[in-house]
Amino acid sequence: MEKQTVMTPDEEDRMIEDAFMEVLNGYLSSNHRKKVEIIERAYRFAKEAHKGIRRRSGEPYILHPIAVAKIASQEIGLGSTSICAALLHDVVEDTDYTVEDIRRHFGDKIAQLVDGLTKISGGIFGDKASLQAENFRKLLLTMSEDIRVVLIKMADRLHNMRTLGSMAPNKQYKIAGETLYIYAPLAHRLGLFAIKTELEDLSFKYEHPVAYRTISGQIKESEGRRAAVYSDFSAPIKKRLDDMGLVYEAKARIKSVYSIWNKMETKHVPFEEVYDLYAMRIVFECDDPNREKGICWSIYSAITDLYRLHPDRTRDWISTPKANGYQALHLTVMGPDGNWIEVQIRSRRMDEIAEKGFAAHWKYKIGEGDEESELNVWLKTIKDILDNPEPNAIDFLDTLKLNLFASEIVVFTPTGELLTLPADATVLDVAFGLHSELGVHCIAGKVNHKLVPLSHRLKSGDQVEVLTSKSQVPQPEWESFLVTAKAKTRLRAALRKTRMPLINRGKEILAQWFADNGIPDNNPVITKILGVYHVPNRDELCYQLGADEIVLGDFLVKTLKKIAENNSGIFSKIFKRGKKNTPATDAVKDGDTAVPAINPKEVYILKNEDGVANYKLAECCNPIPGDDVMGFIDDDGRLVVHALNCPRAQVLKAGYGSRIVATRWEAVSAKFSVHIHIEGIDRFGILRELIQMISTHMAIDIRKLNIEASAEVFACDLWVRVADVGIVSDLCEKVLTINGVKQATRIQ
């Protein structure tokens, strides 16, 4: 902040009034309906409310809301309601007035905006990581209700960044970091390109002052040379455009300091190699929106007559605007000095949208017809995500942030519908994007009529078809290759749904174990138990318990006791108290807590009478009749059957010798699920032959199918229902006779 010259109260008041008049005059020259009266009232109200309060720099506080209103109006293009909300945005937070007061004086709409702004004022980075996520969620929630809250917040942030010196020093890092982390990408996503660039440069200037000064200096130094190249390049183009009778504005585009630095850092190149890559922008005047596209292409044609065109760098953002609303025609040609130069062609309308984002759309909005803008689609995505609250707030923040940063690709559905997705999106992202049910049952995709796996990464222009199967179920592994926040959220919701019964069963088991052993169910104890089983949280513990992947027993009691012995803290006390209360710990000494009706000393016959089995198959190894198996008596006294070669069985054998039971299969009528892996050389029709052989000739029920094809090879994972191992080996043998199949094995 520059030094404040001492002003008399009158002088200061005149300065404030002048600042406000600038806001009002800007508003009056805009296309909005003229509602001066309410703006003036809001200004007087805010001025009175903040009276006597100053910013750290010493200037009257009211200058901040005035500046925010000015940005909202003149740089974002918002109207009177937003200007009022901007003027009042700090009143509720910093003064004694309430939202109710605002409502009484200015009505519902403005009160609602001010309320939204007050709620998100805490910033995104709190003391705790989850608090960041919570605040961010609040921000987005308000956003999906009224986008203007976020736009005004953006104006507030921009002014705070412009005057970072007048913020408390301990807040400066936080504000700069937060700006780069979330506000700049959000501005980009909202199409506020100019604001995004300024926010980045301001944060960069604060966080890397030396690099900022160096690069700014280099830009200045190279100005002369750059101007010479630009005028050499642009002169023939301008002559052509003049001959065509166009009214236009042409200017050289210089990269921002931050983006030059970013490129130097990520590409490891010196300044000289970055700064040359500049662009020229042509903005032409045109009153008739229907003629814009034609004019863009005629300019394109004129330029390509003059310069050599880079073959793959033409971008038609007119036919398919970016998700943030951006429209323009970009081409790259070889300049006179042998460097590639990008030329951006836009109409005045497109330019305003590019600079001011969606707010500018309102200015040009003709009917109610184009309300279904891409932005609304994006807002809907956010709403979807918020409607499905993710228990892990950090994951939520990460996925959303990922989407804010992602650059975009455009793909087509078989019916020619356009989908805009983040770069690297997969077939499964498309499936989930279209509908939750499609995603959950997706087995593969067809990209440009070629079969591809779910994880296939799409490219712009791909035509994508989603293949589904009713028997497909969602897999946790899918999350590793999903890119869109929407797909991740929908997958998690689907997984939770399928996991819920097991988690509930696990909860009961856990509660019973606590009761049986007289151990209190509290945080220190749970923490230790999570540590013993290496699981991240209570839900996962319950899930694994419910799925019989882990068991609680004497082993755990002993382990906890041992931990308590070496622990002098709260935990040892809790555990000792628990021990005193219960006689159950004594019972543990003989080894088994469960009450097996099964006699481990006898061979247990695995039977399946009337479709009801007297055993349970372990999900880790899925044994079937004919496999070498062993039985394990679980906490409920049921017999769980594991394959002998199952790793989990090894652990059980080592830890719970007395609960292991020898078993023998009896001829059973039931069918069992088996996973078979097939590999071979891909050829047209091979999959159809494979499926036909299995389902038609052998009458085997296919439950699930995953296919991955890369270059000439294909891999196929098949889940079928069979009676025993004999049928499995028969099936593998037959499959191997198909021309091209190289391998067919059961996976356990």
Shortest Å, Cβ 237 to Mn ion: 44
Shortest Å, Cβ 45 to Mn ion: 16
Shortest Å, Cβ 90 to Mn ion: 5
C-beta closer to Mn ion: residue 161 or 382:
161
Continuous segment of H or E residues that includes residue 409: strand 408-412
The burial of 243, by beta-carbon neighbours within 10 Å (0-12 exposed, 13-18 middle, 19 or more buried), is given as exposed
Backbone torsion region of residue 455, taken as left when φ is above 0, otherwise alpha when ψ lies between -120 and 50, otherwise beta: alpha
Shortest Å, Cβ 145 to Mn ion: 20
Structure tokens at 12: 């200061």
Instruction: Give the three-class secondary structure for 54.
Output: strand
CA 224 to chain centre: 44
Active-site annotation holder among 22, 40, 94, 342: 94
User: How many other CB atoms are there within 10 angstroms of residue 116's CB atom?
Assistant: 25
Of all residues in the shown chain, the one whose CB is closest to Mn ion is 156
Spatial contact of 678 and 708, defined as CB atoms under 8 Å apart: no
Bridge partners of residue 509, in order along the sequence: none
Residue by residue, what is the 3-state secondary structure of 455-522?
CCECCCCCEEEEEECCCCCCCHHHHHHCCCHHHHHHHHHHHHHHHHHHHHHHHHHHHHHHHHHCCCCC
C-beta closer to Mn ion: residue 60 or 335:
60
Instruction: Give the three-class secondary structure for 410.
Output: strand
CA 78 to chain centre: 28
C-beta closer to Mn ion: residue 114 or 510:
114
Shortest Å, Cβ 174 to Mn ion: 15
Shortest Å, Cβ 80 to Mn ion: 19
HSE-CB at 384 with a 13 A cutoff on CA atoms is 22
User: How many other CB atoms are there within 10 angstroms of residue 647's CB atom?
Assistant: 11
C-beta closer to Mn ion: residue 146 or 540:
146
Cα four-point dihedral sign 730, 733, 738, 741? positive
Shortest Å, Cβ 229 to Mn ion: 43
Residue identified by tokens 């519908």 is: 417
Structure tokens at 450: 């070629």
Strand stretches in 548-606, DSSP E: 604-606
Tell me, yes or no, if 94 is annotated catalytic.
Answer: yes
Tell me, yes or no, if 390 is annotated catalytic.
Answer: no
Query: Backbone phi, then psi, for 626, in 5-degree steps?
Result: 105, -25
Backbone torsion region of residue 536, taken as left when φ is above 0, otherwise alpha when ψ lies between -120 and 50, otherwise beta: alpha
Shortest Å, Cβ 622 to Mn ion: 60
C-beta closer to Mn ion: residue 53 or 515:
53
C-beta closer to Mn ion: residue 174 or 383:
174
For helices 289-306 and 348-356, the axis angle rounded to 10 degrees is: 100
Nearest to residue 318, comparing CAs of 286, 340, 359?
286
Shortest Å, Cβ 156 to Mn ion: 4
Shortest Å, Cβ 170 to Mn ion: 17
C-beta closer to Mn ion: residue 171 or 330:
171
Residue identified by tokens 């980075």 is: 125
Instruction: Give the three-class secondary structure for 342.
Output: strand
Alpha-carbon distance of 335 to 337, in angstroms, equals 5
Residue identified by tokens 């062993």 is: 630
Q: Provide the H-helix boundaries in 121-279.
A: 129-145, 147-162, 169-178, 184-189, 193-207, 209-221, 223-243, 257-267, 271-275
Chain residues in the site for Mn ion (CB under 5 A): 90, 156
C-beta closer to Mn ion: residue 160 or 622:
160
C-beta closer to Mn ion: residue 51 or 128:
51
* DSSP letters spanning 414-471: TT--EEEEETT-BHHHHHHHH-HHHHHTEEEEEETTEEE-TTPBP-TT-BEEEEE-TT
Nearest to residue 156, comparing CAs of 234, 18, 64, 223?
64
Residues 6+ apart with CB under 8 A from 42: 83, 84, 87, 88, 106, 110
* DSSP letters spanning 280-341: EEEEE--S-HHHHHHHHHHHHHHHHHHSPBPTT--EETTTS--TT----EEEEEE-TTS-EE
Active-site annotation holder among 13, 18, 93, 387: 93
Shortest Å, Cβ 285 to Mn ion: 37
Continuous segment of H or E residues that includes residue 702: strand 701-710
C-beta closer to Mn ion: residue 156 or 200:
156
C-beta closer to Mn ion: residue 156 or 516:
156
C-beta closer to Mn ion: residue 90 or 462:
90
Structure tokens at 485: 């926040």
C-beta closer to Mn ion: residue 114 or 485:
114
Number of separate helices (H) and strands (E) present in the chain: 32, 22
Shortest Å, Cβ 85 to Mn ion: 12
Shortest Å, Cβ 64 to Mn ion: 6
Catalytic residues: 93-94
